[in-house]
Structure 1
Amino acid sequence: MLKLGLIGGMSWVSTRTYYEHINRLVQAKTSKLASAPLLIESLDFTDLVRLSTPEQWNHAADVLTASAQRLEQAGATAILIGANSMHKVYDKVAGAVQVPVIHIADVVGRKMQANGVKTAALIGSRNVMIESFYRKRLIEHGVTLLPPVMDSVEEVDRIIYEELMQGRATRSAERTFKTMITNMERDGAQAIVLGCTELDMVIDVDANVLPIYDGTAIHAEAAVDWILGG
């Protein structure tokens, strides 16, 4: 198996989810005692939360680039950024290493395209929902995205940062997302993209009114394909 590098810690809950997804998939495809060969660098999320200014994003790009370079030097043959929002600095990170950096929105977009999904709604942190760096990758795969509803954007962002990233899943959040997804179906969405790694804590990906494309799970599948040489 090929060794994979994961830039984690954004949040620790997300890193745990990636680790579990990847190892369960490796076991399912190889043997029940197998473990994925992983290099994980868990960053301190304190200085990477809710970035807004160009200076803050430049700092984040430097931090993630240095992390990717350390993982490459340690033997990683491909790298994942374990956070949707941090794909805003993907180009700088990917350009600083010689190994592939697997983009989460690309693998989600390819899967949706293969399934014939034409119109979808995106749920994630504020910058994922309203900025172009994530949305344009999905659109490049033929997926039309519903425009974000700003009231929903602010509430989703609050739940992500004040609850989910701290490991708390509440019934209130579950109800909020059920209502939101129902409204998105009414507005014409054929599917929902989870553009935040912690959202599976409060959104049942297998029991909803619309198909749910969990970006973390799909990213992990792509990682395992790489690990197994697929």
Structure 2
Amino acid sequence: MAERVFEDRRDAGRVLARLLEHYRGRPDVVVLGLPRGGVPVAYEIAVSLGAPLDVFVVRKLGLPGHEELAMGAIAGGGVVVLNEDVVRRAGVSPETLREVAAGERRELVRRERAYREGGAPLDLMGRTVVVVDDGLATGATMRAAVAALRRHEPAGIVVAVPTAPEPAVGELRESADQVVCASTPPLFSAVGFSYRDFAQTTDEEVRDLLRAAAARRVGA
């Protein structure tokens, strides 16, 4: 798909919602946002589709000294996905991997507790899960999410992202049932270049959007 620049994450969510129109009104559909940045995108999709919204926490394993580069990712249930090329090229030792993973696992647990505010996660068994992030770079985080979600036995997993390089989209098509991407820049360098406003999403914004989504469904 042609390159596109979004105003912000909410704008990107509305664009994706139009591409997911065929899921609107289906009672089996749930929308999961990857915190933090994926949640504003997912909120717009959930509102448009009339579907419940939840978070699915996945943590990138940043390369020590170059934390923006993912050497892998972890998700709930002990799922670990590694970027073997990055690990091999950087000469990362098993001990370093374990240390980084342990730190990110603690943050994963903290975020799950903070975002849900004591609430239980949605039951995903037999549901069609639309899992959303604000973009992909290597795709490691989303691959970890898909691997972890398979353990919940959903009927299907749809990955929805506003922007990603074509190779990352291709890799995800091997594990997800469908991948919907609104923009695949030919010279992809970073997710943020696909946005005019790419300000960091805060924990409080995530909680506010989850509360707002739940209130809309109660009032529907």
Normalised by the length of structure 1, the TM-score is 0.36
Q: Normalized per residue, which structure has more strand?
A: 2
Higher relative contact order (CA 8 A, sep 6+): 2
Relative to the length of structure 2, the TM-score reads 0.37
